[in-house]
A and B are shown apart, each in its own frame.
Chain A
Amino acid sequence: MTGERLELIKQKLSSFSVEYQDVNGTACIVTTTDKILEICTLLKDDTELGYDMLLDEVGMDNFTKSARFEVICNLYSTIFKDRLFLKVIIPDPKNPVTPSLAHIWKSADWYEREVYDMFGIIYENHPDLRRVYMPDEFEYFPLRKDFPTMGIPGSISLPNK
């Protein structure tokens, strides 16, 4: 990303309370869940920004007392050929809830299902929030840091015969 583009993003997002980070050479916007839908709509629909692709959502469990969970969106603009990360910090570790982006980018549908499956982050207004990898009756969220790597014996019921 060039410096000019970062300045443009800063100028466009000046009305929101966001911070900027550098993820090893790629710009990253850090924000909380409050204004996330407005920010995403702006990033996608603004003709000068044009982040029309959501390539991935990375769930992260920092295992800290406050701001334990965060979700990193991997945005890409096919027009300007530019990548941008958007880090959403989820404030409440006991009840991690964030608005769903599936109505802005359709690809968010499965990515959010995956993050829900692995971290238990609840997405509001998601069209179809089910587990994507683990069985539906599984009770735990495996990629949380308090889930043991060896698994929990008996958590997945085996077939009877």
Chain B
Amino acid sequence: MPHTKYEQLQANDPEIRRTKILEALETKDLSVEFTDPLENEMVLNMGPQHPATHGVLRILISLDGETVMKAVPEVGYLHRGYEKLAEAMTYHEFIPHTDRLDYLQPIHNNVAYAMAVEKLLHLEITERGKYIRTICSELGRIQSHLISFGTYVMDIGALTPFLWAMREREKILDIYDLITGVRFTTSYTRIGGVAQDITDEAISGIKKFLDEFPKYLKEMRDIVERNKIFIVRTEGIGYLSKEELINLGITGPLLRAAGVERDLRKEEPYLLYDKLDFNIPVYPESDCLSRYYIRVEEMIESAKIIRQCLEKIPEGPYNTLNPKKVLPKKERVYSKMEELIHDFMLINFGVNPPKGESYFAVESSKGELGFYIKSDGSGHPFRLKIRSPSFSNIQSLSYIMKNCMISDTVVIIGSIDPVMGEADK
């Protein structure tokens, strides 16, 4: 009997061979033999608990020897249903949930969401509020890129820059503590402004950080960029053509590393970005090394932006004067009748934007982070869609990983820098 099965395995049709092998595996039939073990592709399951996947990303990789023939990313292991939850809560209540989207730069998500709601409300924020938000979002970008930088080089094998990057990030978290009162999940913005004013202590803290940051960044770069192992493992790896990336809807550093100068801060300027002087780093190579350079240079540009903002930041109110839409100060709620009424109405019934739809997007550190909101006139969003950059970027993995070596897969994931909280929503 084993003889006939052996013959069936010899069949030329790979589909028949495959079903026979699966049959044999299911019945635990040990009599089946492979003619040529090297002929068969191996399927490797990477994740969702793999340290190099930066969260709970799962990739099924089909291997021929050490070459990846096909890679299929699977997401959804961190799906919390935020779009459904948003429909059952007021616009203010959703702000803490935006922290948990891209948890490497919570403050940037807060800014993006608050601005999306303000666009729906046609609410203009104050000049000081804009400065505070710009500073916060650029600090968020540095924070996110530092993590990306550290984990990326750690995946390649360098542990020291990771520790240094985490040390710098720790300083940013301390600054968040001064600005928002919280180190990590900041929930800082409110509709129409921010939760509290930025203090002089926080400003001097940011200044101190900015003075030291270029020196430490140079230290980190020196140890990485002159390392031959790093360059050999990243240069020319993970190439995908510009046209392909555009077709795949990729945004952010990945697209800029392919020579497309697309940055929403320049193209659809929001906050103060049309008044500030900064460059958009663009590299034409579209490989893992150029993605690294884009992130590092963006950190320098962000530091430049924050410095300009700190020089020009005006005095004045940080919240818009619109009591029907903007939450009053807490101490006034406790002592003044008018504010108590407004607070009660805002908390219980919400801001009630006019009927209609609105889309607003910012350039986050991963790409275009947008919120599509449909309002039916009530205090809850009728529909809130999060356009998360990581979700789109992960889609490109199967195209980038094709025909690369298995050792390069972790490098490619690191160069894409996905955050699963955002991809899974």
A interface residues, Cβ below 8 angstroms from B: 23-24, 26, 52-56, 58-61, 72, 74, 78, 81, 83, 85, 105-107, 109-111, 114, 118, 131-134, 142-143, 147, 149
Judge whether B83 and A72 touch: CB under 8 Å. no
Judge whether A74 and B359 touch: CB under 8 Å. yes
Judge whether A58 and B372 touch: CB under 8 Å. yes
Identify whether the interface residues of A are mostly helix, strand, loop, or mixed.
mixed
What per-residue 1/0 map shows which CB atoms of B71-106 lie under 8 Å from chain A? Answer: 000011001010111011000000000000000000
What per-residue 1/0 map shows which CB atoms of B229-257 lie under 8 Å from chain A? Answer: 00000000000000010111111000000
Counted as pairs of residues, one from A and one from B, with CB atoms less than 8 Å apart, the total is 87
Judge whether B392 and A55 touch: CB under 8 Å. yes
> Which A residues are CB-close (under 8 A) to B262?
78, 81
> Which B residues are CB-close (under 8 A) to A131?
76
Which residue of chain B lies nearest to A131 when distances are taken between CB atoms in the complex?
B76
Judge whether A149 and B75 touch: CB under 8 Å. no
Judge whether A118 and B83 touch: CB under 8 Å. yes
Q: Which B residues from 170 to 203 make CB contacts under 8 A with A? A: none
B161 CB-CB contact with A under 8 Å: no
B368 CB-CB contact with A under 8 Å: yes
What per-residue 1/0 map shows which CB atoms of B324-358 lie under 8 Å from chain A? Answer: 00000000000000000000000000000000111
Q: Please judge, given known A-B contacts A132-B76, A133-B76, A133-B424, whether A55 and B356 are in contact too, CB under 8 Å.
A: no
Known: A55-B249, A72-B372. 14 other contacts (CB 8 A): A23-B359, A52-B247, A56-B372, A60-B383, A81-B262, A85-B359, A105-B247, A107-B248, A107-B250, A114-B391, A133-B425, A134-B76, A142-B81, A149-B84
Judge whether A133 and B75 touch: CB under 8 Å. yes
Q: Which of B84, B246, B387, B395 meets A53, CB within 8 Å?
A: B246
Q: Which of A26, A59, A60, A78 meets B246, CB within 8 Å?
A: A78
- Complex Cα–Cα for A58 and B386 (A): 9
Shortest distance from the beta carbon of B277 to any chain A beta carbon, whole Å: 20
> Which B residues are CB-close (under 8 A) to A55?
249, 251, 368, 370, 387, 392
Judge whether A149 and B87 touch: CB under 8 Å. yes
> Which A residues are CB-close (under 8 A) to B244?
106
Judge whether B395 and A109 touch: CB under 8 Å. yes
> Which B residues are CB-close (under 8 A) to A110?
391-392, 395
Q: Please judge, given known A-B contacts A58-B385, A60-B383, A132-B75, whether A78 and B260 are in contact too, CB under 8 Å.
A: yes
> Which A residues are CB-close (under 8 A) to B359?
23-24, 26, 74, 85
